[in-house]
Amino acid sequence: MMDTLLSALANLLTLQHMAYMLLGVSVGLVIGVIPGLGGIAGLSLLMPFLYGMDEVSALGMLIGLVAVIPTSDTFSSVLMGIPGSSASQATVLDGFPMAKKGQAARALSAAFVSSLFGGIVGAVILTGFVLIARPLILMFGSAELFMLALFGLSMVAVLAGRSLPKGLAACAVGLLIGSIGGAPATGEFRMIFGTEYLYDGIPLVIIGLGLFAVPEISDLLRKNSTIAEGNSLGSGWLLGIRDWWNNLFLSIRCSSLGCMIGAIPGLGGSVVDWISYGHAVQTAKDTSQFGKGDPRGIVAPESSNNAMQGGALLPTMLFGIPGSGSMAVFLGGMVLIGIEPGPSMVGPDLDITYSIIWSLALANIMGAGICMGLARPISGLTAIPFPYLAPFMIALICFAAFQATRDLSDLVALLVIGMVGILMKRFGWPRPALLIGYVLAPQAETFFYQALQFDGWGFVIRPGVLIIGAMTLVSVYFGLKNRVDDTGPTGEAVVTSHASRNIQIGFAVAMMAFFGLALWDATSHSFLGAVFPIGVTVVGVVFGGILLLHLMRGHKDHPAFFDYEIVGDHVGNEGNGWFWSGPAWIAGLVVTTALVGFYIAMIGFFLTFLRLRANASWPRTLLLTACAAGFILGLAYMLNLNFPSGWLQSAYDLPWPFR
Amino acid sequence: MTGLFTTTRRGAIGLALGAAAAIGLGTPAAAEVSFEGKTIEWIIPFSPGGGSDTWARFNAPLLGKYLPGSPTVVVVNEPGGGSTKGANLFAARAKPDGLTILGTSGSTQFPYLLGDPRVRYDYSEWKVAMAAPTGGVVYTSPSTGVTAPEDIGKLAGQKLVYASQGATSLDLVPLLGFKLMGLDVQHVFGFKGRGDGRLSFERGETNIDYQTSSAYIKNVQPLVDNGTAVPLFSWGALDENGNLVRDPTFPDLPSFAEAYETLTGKAPEGPEYDAYFAFFTAGFPAQKMVFLPKDTPQEIVDAYQAAFEAMKADPDYQANKEAVLGTYEQVTGKAADTLFQRGTIISPELRKQVVDMLAADYGVKLGDD
């Protein structure tokens, strides 16, 4: 045993291994900083170089990349409010408000030190856990996995916002959106309405960007200022580290949680950050600052998402089951260098396993270190006048969005979900509740159906099910006690949102209409295909109904009323632009893409936006456009991808990248 | 008319050159074809990661090395629609210049064979450059009382549970196979991959399962050695004439046909077996294939086939082929053609029979546009 540990360590600490790992870390940093690009893109980028490399160096490079992405994706989450990848969606909730307060550097350093710590805790847990992991992982059957999905859903209680019926209705909408596409039990296609794009459901990256990034961009576009309000970026560097230190135990708990959830195949990493965010709120005494820039809202998800990557390695290595998209590519990489996952990874190949686990810790240290160094200069971005930043951000989220299926429909879906997100933000519908519902819908449905098939209703008395069920109840209890509101200023405002009651009712009715649509679609399906959407619809209609009742009958200060256009902090300021200007610009880009393809459309968009909206001079406009065009081109070239094409491309045969 | 003429003439030249190469004159086929300085796009209709992507990324640099002019071969992922989207794109856009190729898998073949409305590609128009077979082994839990492959008869009348990825996925082969054998199998759908299904078997949720050969060797053989799994049969392989034989990787295990005979006392035959056989071929012996688009000149096809043959001697190929391909050789020429024919052609009656059965027994609808 000792020999194995030592030989793994010796392999790890060679100069060659470290050099390759640094290479992987650097690529991971760059890829992670770009929103929407994550482990999958980064690993595909490195794949061609795997040939002829020795095992240890190749693994070091791959691990370096995988490990650093949940660290570096924090940049866009905190600085721009764009979720850098699915693992740091929850970071946006408090990170971005901190950046808006001019505390970007503090938020980033808190995030990086938490990531670093999470990565190391993950590696430490794995070192001991890996030997006994096989039987433990096998204890989680379909029934337990279903209960874990319910546990994840229980976080809706804490993220439901001021009005519980609103939160639950939002969650039901998310569950329905998550159920679009092939039904797990029968494969029949639900809610596709003859649209080929919807056969596979709406991709996660679109939902994440649409719900969180588009509304923020749209808001900022109206205000015309910089992201950071006030001039100083704050020298919060040390303050951020202190934020983490003060919440050390929260960080330890969330890291362990992340590592465990990552290790259980089937749940997937995209809820880890929300579960730990929910946990942070549930265990906090004072929750008034959550959603408005509480450092605990950064420490918790960032600790867990790096630890999760470590946990996710376990099912990949021990069973050959990738827990996430990037783990699937990582697995492919392992196979390409001749390592086949399986029980031998804890037998004869144990030294490889250990060098993987410790590479992970080492890569986390490298990555967090580099990010720390970059935090100050990069947070300067938030001091740039937003009209100059906006075209880059819009181009970036569109670029990120069409990574999903590389189709124009991705952009259309982004626009539609973005508008839903804007309205949800305006009327105080909690977006995290929708997202959690969306992410967990397939899991909840699939595992429930499988559990019933395997065990019948007897599955509810399995010990694991009872334990997780009790945890869920506790979570709901604390969640309801410590509800958090991410919809901005509340309470103290003298004005109430009662005035716009009618449009609020209108939006709620629109959501009810969506339930009606789902119900109508469900009637055309078999029992197994329809039972889940019908069940969710019933829940949605009940809570949507209660909400409507509140909106129609409630007194003026009823918490169901919320309109950001009345109580928002921008109200009363001069020069607020048109409410729909953000989506209008994005829509312009989408329409032009449909005509002339994305690349030409993007160049045109930059020119138009910088000239008309930012009032930039011609030289500056051309320079910025050229930079953006070159950057996107370079990315596309390296990733071997074609841009979405439009009418022009179908009529004429153009050379890449205009193709 | 001119176009037609040109194609034929080129085809003739290609044939002549191919024949020359075949009888060992030593010149590479189609010396006039050169991809020097070009980039070849290899479309993979799946996301990065996973079997097809890994397979293409393994082959791509070697293919580039051995194609005339040493072009750069890049893998372009076009996922969506259960791989129909990428194949549709290829069918609509690829030009017959050898610069765009498509890698398909059983998941691309099955919707085509079943008549999925999303399919807008026609295999019969394409030229096959290479085929990569795979195989698999069916095993069961000792709790069924089975201790060796010969005991398969004990399964008759028992309630078996199988973890399936879906009735129209690659797991259609076990679905049709078990049904043919008269086994009472409950298919539980919604699993994400065969690895996921194996996990369910190890948890004791299911008692019959199959794994592709390399996963079987790496992950199930230890279970067999522990006594927690018992192999039943391999799906088998096809010989050059397209006959089902024992899988050379598992010479000691009976093939599907032998197991069928042990169970029922007679060799498998009839329309149901034919239907099974078409999907089996598309899912295993012809699982992964590389195609050139419609109207591609024969000399380009030959150049590709020659490159795929030549790469087999490369040390990089030798070093990693076992991990990627399992124990099967990638084939070209007549062997690839046989697999291509067998794995992509199904009579309308057999198709209807399978689709009707899926609709009646499993409520499967193949989409509605």
User: Measured between CB atoms, does B96 come within 8 Å of chain A?
Assistant: no
DSSP A168-227: HHHHHHHHHHHT-EE-TTT-PEES-TT-GGGGG---HHHHHIIIIIHHHHHHHHHH-SBS
Give the residue on A whose Cα is nearest the Cα of B199: A138
A283, A252 in Cβ contact below 8 A? no
Residue the block writes with tokens 């991705």: A410
More confident residue, B151 or A335: B151
**Mean of all residue pLDDT scores within chain B:** 87
Lowest mean pLDDT, pick from A26-35, A137-146, A179-188, A487-496: A487-496
A189, B368 in Cβ contact below 8 A? yes
Q: Which one of B118, B196, B316 has the shortest CB-CB distance to A321?
A: B196
| pLDDT at B292 > cutoff 80 | yes
b/e per residue, A413-447, with b = 16+ CB within 10 A?
bbbebbbbbbbbbbbbbbbbbbbbbbbbbbbbbbb
Q: Which one of B60, B61, B81 has the shortest CB-CB distance to A199?
A: B81
Residue A327's domain comprises 2-227+237-484+491-553
Q: Is residue A262 part of a domain?
A: yes
Residue the block writes with tokens 């011609």: A618
- Please give the single-letter amino acid code of residue B148: A
Mark which residues 170-189 of A lie under 8 Å from B by CB: 182, 184-189
User: Measured between CB atoms, does B341 come within 8 Å of chain A?
Assistant: no
Beta bridge partners of B43: B76, B102
Chain centroid to CA A140? 25
Q: How far is A199 from chain B (nearest CA, A)?
A: 6
**H helix or E strand, kind and range, residue A135:** helix A133-138
| pLDDT at B29 > cutoff 60 | no
More confident residue, A324 or A268: A324
Q: How far is A299 from chain B (nearest CA, A)?
A: 31
Q: Give the mean model confidence (pLDDT) for residues A146-154.
A: 92
Q: Give the mean model confidence (pLDDT) for residues B216-235.
A: 94
Cβ contact (<8 Å) for A335 and B202? no
Q: How far is B363 from chain A (nearest CA, A)?
A: 6
Mark which residues 36-55 of A lie under 8 Å from B by CB: 40, 43-44, 47-48, 51-52
Lowest mean pLDDT, pick from A10-19, A255-264, B159-168: A10-19
Beta-carbon contacts below 8 Å between A and B: 158
A310, A363 in Cβ contact below 8 A? no
DSSP A340-393: PPSGGGGTTTHHHHHHHHHHHHHHHHHHHHHHHHHHHHHHGGGGSBHHHHHHHH
**Mean of all residue pLDDT scores within chain A:** 87
Mark which residues 31-70 of B lie under 8 Å from A by CB: 41, 47-50, 53-54, 57-58, 60-61
Q: Is residue A603 part of a domain?
A: no
Cβ contact (<8 Å) for A186 and B61? no
Mark which residues 316-345 of A lie under 8 Å from B by CB: 319-322, 325-332, 335-344
- The CA distance from B173 to B186, in Å, is 14
Give the residue on A whose Cα is nearest the Cα of B60: A48
Q: Which one of A187, A199, A327 has the shortest CB-CB distance to B118?
A: A199
- The CA distance from A183 to A180, in Å, is 8
DSSP B140-165: E-GGGS--SGGGGGGGTTSEEEEE-S
- The CA distance from A516 to A569, in Å, is 35
Cβ contact (<8 Å) for B199 and A321? yes
| pLDDT at A232 > cutoff 60 | no
- Segments in A482-526 forming alpha helices (H): 501-522
Q: Is residue A198 part of a domain?
A: yes
Distances from the Cα of B211 to the Cαs of A265, A342, B107, B162, B231, in angstroms? 18, 13, 16, 12, 11
A507, A314 in Cβ contact below 8 A? no
More confident residue, A402 or B1: A402
Question: Is the C-alpha dihedral spanning A19, B54, A208, A153 positive or negative?
Answer: negative
- Give the pLDDT band (50/70/90) at residue A128: confident
Give pLDDT, residue A268.
67
Q: Give the mean model confidence (pLDDT) for residues B142-163.
A: 94
Q: Give the mean model confidence (pLDDT) for residues B288-303.
A: 95
Contacts of A640 in chain B (CB under 8 A): 41, 74-76
Q: How far is A480 from chain B (nearest CA, A)?
A: 33
**H helix or E strand, kind and range, residue B127:** strand B127-132
- Give the pLDDT band (50/70/90) at residue A299: very high
Contacts of B367 in chain A (CB under 8 A): 189, 192, 199
Three-state SS at A532:
helix
B131, B335 in Cβ contact below 8 A? yes
Beta bridge partners of B131: B289, B331
Residue the block writes with tokens 């042990």: B262
Phi-psi region of A243 (alpha: psi -120 to 50; beta: other; left: phi over 0): alpha
Give pLDDT, residue A234.
60
Distances from the Cα of B317 to the Cαs of B59, B301, B312, in angstroms? 8, 21, 6
Q: What is the pLDDT of residues A199-225, one digit of tens each?
A: 889 988 899 999 999 998 998 888 777
Mark which residues 345-364 of B lie under 8 Å from A by CB: 362-364
Contacting residues for B22 by C-beta, under 8 A, at least 6 apart: none
Q: Which one of A187, A320, A336 has the shortest CB-CB distance to B215?
A: A320
Give pLDDT, residue B70.
93
| pLDDT at A230 > cutoff 70 | no
Mark which residues 79-138 of A lie under 8 Å from B by CB: 137-138
| pLDDT at A86 > cutoff 80 | no
Q: How far is B346 from chain A (nearest CA, A)?
A: 22
Cβ contact (<8 Å) for B48 and A51? no
Contacts of A186 in chain B (CB under 8 A): 167, 189, 362-364
Give pLDDT, residue B42.
95
Radius of gyration of chain B (CA): 21
DSSP A571-604: TT-TT---TTHHHHHHHHHHHHHHHH-HHHHHHH
| pLDDT at B62 > cutoff 90 | yes
**H helix or E strand, kind and range, residue A144:** helix A142-159
| Proportion of chain B above pLDDT 90, given as a percent | 67
For residue A191, give the nearest of A551, A458, A552, A521 by alpha carbon.
A521
Q: Give the mean model confidence (pLDDT) for residues A516-532.
A: 92
For residue A56, give the nearest of A353, A364, A361, A368 by alpha carbon.
A353
Q: Give the mean model confidence (pLDDT) for residues A619-644.
A: 89
Q: Is residue A139 part of a domain?
A: yes
Give pLDDT, residue A373.
86
Q: What is the pLDDT of residues B245-262, one digit of tens each?
A: 999 999 999 999 999 999
Q: What is the pLDDT of residues A95-124, one digit of tens each?
A: 999 988 888 889 999 999 999 999 999 999
Cβ contact (<8 Å) for A332 and B214? no
- The CA distance from A216 to A79, in Å, is 11
Cβ contact (<8 Å) for A321 and B218? no
How many helices (H) and strands (E) chain A has is answered by 29, 2
Q: Is residue A292 part of a domain?
A: yes
More confident residue, A338 or B64: B64
- The CA distance from B162 to B142, in Å, is 15
Q: Which one of B54, B74, B188 has the shortest CB-CB distance to A336?
A: B54
- The CA distance from B74 to B64, in Å, is 9
For residue A421, give the nearest of A87, A150, A89 by alpha carbon.
A89
More confident residue, A517 or A331: A517
For residue A518, give the nearest of A164, A168, A200, A174 by alpha carbon.
A174
Q: How far is B22 from chain A (nearest CA, A)?
A: 31
Tally of domains within chain A: 1
A18, A60 in Cβ contact below 8 A? yes
- Give the pLDDT band (50/70/90) at residue A486: low
Give pLDDT, residue B18.
43
Q: Give the mean model confidence (pLDDT) for residues B259-274.
A: 93
| Proportion of chain A above pLDDT 90, given as a percent | 43
Give pLDDT, residue B250.
94
Cβ contact (<8 Å) for B49 and A320? no
- The CA distance from A332 to A221, in Å, is 42
Q: What share of chain B is helix, strand, coil (3-state, %, to 5)?
A: 50, 15, 35
Contacts of B203 in chain A (CB under 8 A): 138-141
- Give the pLDDT band (50/70/90) at residue A487: low
Phi and psi of B262, rounded to 5°?
A: -60, -40
- Other beta carbons less than 10 A from residue B3's beta carbon: 8
Give pLDDT, residue B21.
42
For B45, the token pair is 């209709």
Cβ contact (<8 Å) for A185 and B189? yes
Mark which residues 223-242 of B lie under 8 Å from A by CB: none
CB-based burial label for B327 (10 Å; 0-12, 13-18, 19+): middle
- Give the pLDDT band (50/70/90) at residue B220: very high
Contacts of A185 in chain B (CB under 8 A): 189-190
- Please give the single-letter amino acid code of residue B99: L
Question: Is the C-alpha dihedral spanning A570, A576, A581, A585 positive or negative?
Answer: negative
Distances from the Cα of A239 to the Cαs of A171, A423, A516, in angstroms? 36, 35, 50
Give pLDDT, residue A485.
65
Q: Give the mean model confidence (pLDDT) for residues B310-329.
A: 86
Interface test with A, best of B97, B141, B172, B203 (most A CBs within 10 A): B203
Give the residue on A whose Cα is nearest the Cα of B42: A640
Cβ contact (<8 Å) for A200 and B81? yes
| pLDDT at B283 > cutoff 50 | yes
| pLDDT at B1 > cutoff 70 | no
- The CA distance from A320 to A360, in Å, is 18
| pLDDT at A531 > cutoff 80 | yes
- The CA distance from A171 to A164, in Å, is 11
Distances from the Cα of B251 to the Cαs of B132, B236, B237, B255, B361, in angstroms? 20, 10, 11, 9, 35
Give all domains of chain B, ordered by start, each with its CATH number: 2-133+286-349 (3.40.190.150), 136-278 (3.40.190.10)
- Segments in A13-88 forming alpha helices (H): 15-33, 39-46, 55-72, 74-80
Give pLDDT, residue B2.
37
More confident residue, B9 or A244: A244
Maximum C-alpha span of chain A: 73
- Give the pLDDT band (50/70/90) at residue A326: confident
Contacts of B87 in chain A (CB under 8 A): none
Q: How far is A220 from chain B (nearest CA, A)?
A: 34
Contacts of B314 in chain A (CB under 8 A): none
B342, B287 in Cβ contact below 8 A? no
- Please give the single-letter amino acid code of residue A394: I
Residues in chain B: 369
Q: Give the mean model confidence (pLDDT) for residues A293-300.
A: 93
Residue the block writes with tokens 């392989």: B237
Cβ contact (<8 Å) for B205 and A327? no
| pLDDT at A596 > cutoff 90 | yes
Interface test with A, best of B218, B311, B327 (most A CBs within 10 A): B218
Cβ contact (<8 Å) for B47 and A325? yes
Contacts of A326 in chain B (CB under 8 A): 49
Q: How far is A126 from chain B (nearest CA, A)?
A: 20
| pLDDT at B22 > cutoff 70 | no
Cβ contact (<8 Å) for B57 and A454? no
Q: Is residue A566 part of a domain?
A: no
Q: Give the mean model confidence (pLDDT) for residues A175-199.
A: 89
Q: Is residue A206 part of a domain?
A: yes
User: Measured between CB atoms, does B72 come within 8 Å of chain A?
Assistant: no
| Proportion of chain A above pLDDT 70, given as a percent | 97
- Give the pLDDT band (50/70/90) at residue B24: very low
Contacts of B114 in chain A (CB under 8 A): none
Radius of gyration of chain A (CA): 24
Q: Is residue A624 part of a domain?
A: no
Contacting residues for A201 by C-beta, under 8 A, at least 6 apart: A178, A179, A180, A181, A182
Lowest mean pLDDT, pick from A57-61, A139-143, A148-152, A497-501: A497-501
Cβ contact (<8 Å) for B188 and A329? no
Q: How far is B24 from chain A (nearest CA, A)?
A: 31
